[in-house]
Amino acid sequence: MDINKRILLGVCGGIAAYKAAELVRLLRKQGHEVRVVMTAAARQFVTPLTFQALSGHAVHSDLLDVEQEQAMSHIHLARWADLLLIAPATADTLAKMAHGLADDLLSTLYLAAECPVWVAPAMNQAMWRKPVTQENVARLQSHGVQCIGPAAGEQACGEQGLGRMVEPAEICRQLLAPEQPGFLSGINIVISAGPTREPLDPVRYITNRSSGKMGYALAVAALSAGANVTLVSGPVSLAVPAGAKLIPVETALQMYDAVMMHSRIADIYIGAAAVADYRPQQLADSKIKKAGDTSKIALIKNPDIIAAVAALQPKPLVVGFAAETDDLENYAKHKLQSKHLDLIAANWVGQAEGGFESDRNALQVFWPGGQQILPMTDKHTLAAQLLKLIAEKLHEKNPVKNS
């Protein structure tokens, strides 16, 4: 980022508000002009005078503050900023932003802002893990909002987990990093995500615990990198990333048909879905009644989607996933070779952290002749890291097209 940027810092209510003072100091030290907007709750934790002294400007707090409105309306304040950063960003403010509510100065500024927007969430670990919070964050990211953190660790309430605001120095590092062009601009990517459901009768089905979070995070990262994204998704409870072409499916056979149709013109296929290996041989026309102490259900194998994509001519760059409970490296390498994949991202499931339904994960990525470990982090950060590695392999495969 160039020097002398005009940064509008929104401070929400929470114990992490004290860190925002250090954030102002660091930003000013690096040559940026900072103006601060505080919510009513934030003023209960840190006084406006603190931020006024550090920023050199009066603090903005009230939407209808007559004296401030005469000097700079909320529209003018939004236009003044080159960048809007909200740190700490509470669950309440994130929800307002995600749903377009504007009942205070900060939420109104977000709606009026035309500059890049960044948030650094901070809240209790249970609040962060709540599905509605994750849906709100995913919605914001699909609208182009950049998210920094949160970090894991001990919280002010004494609990442990994700929810701490990232330290000011790290926020500055990410915020001020040189902007990268869309390194996948014009590239066509097909991503399969979520579980499949294989019906037994009109009311029951076989499925798995996949939440779709990793596949959707990859879609957001790919869109941010300029790619054209087709998202073939099983049933999930996630917001569709803005700009993605969604193909909703339910069964493995439906996913197979959709993936094969769209992968024929794709540059990259990422198989992040947890596809059922088998489906019931017969679908009952009516609800199966309970009878006897045991029951037998005959299953037949579903088509191998990723192997079928890898057999296409011409073949896109094919990226598989392997979720394993044991012997991860050997299983992943065998799948890489036997299915003729270009890369495979392997992760442990059934562990204390990461895997299905979690907001965090770690990956061991293998390709012919190499491997790389991507350590435990949130899935959106992990998706961005994996996508950069995929882009490198695409360039190696076709340097002319991707130069």
Catalytically active residues are 157
Q: Which two tokens stand for residue 337?
A: 């070779």
Per the listing, tokens 């899935």 go with 379
C-beta of residue 291 within 8 angstroms of C-beta of residue 313: no
- What distance in Å separates the CA atoms of residue 276 and residue 123, rounded to the nearest whole number? 36
> CA-based Rg of the chain, rounded to a whole angstrom?
24
Instruction: Compute how many other C-beta atoms are within 10 angstroms of the C-beta atom of residue 315.
Output: 15
- What distance in Å separates the CA atoms of residue 58 and residue 264, rounded to the nearest whole number? 58
C-alpha closest to that of 301 among 274, 275, 325, 270: 275
Question: Strand pairing of 268-271 and 299-301?
Answer: unpaired
| Omega before residue 195 within 30° of 0, cis | no
- What distance in Å separates the CA atoms of residue 59 and residue 65, rounded to the nearest whole number? 11
C-alpha closest to that of 235 among 204, 284, 193, 282: 193
C-alpha distance from residue 91 to each of 96, 109, 167, 377 (Å): 9, 17, 18, 20
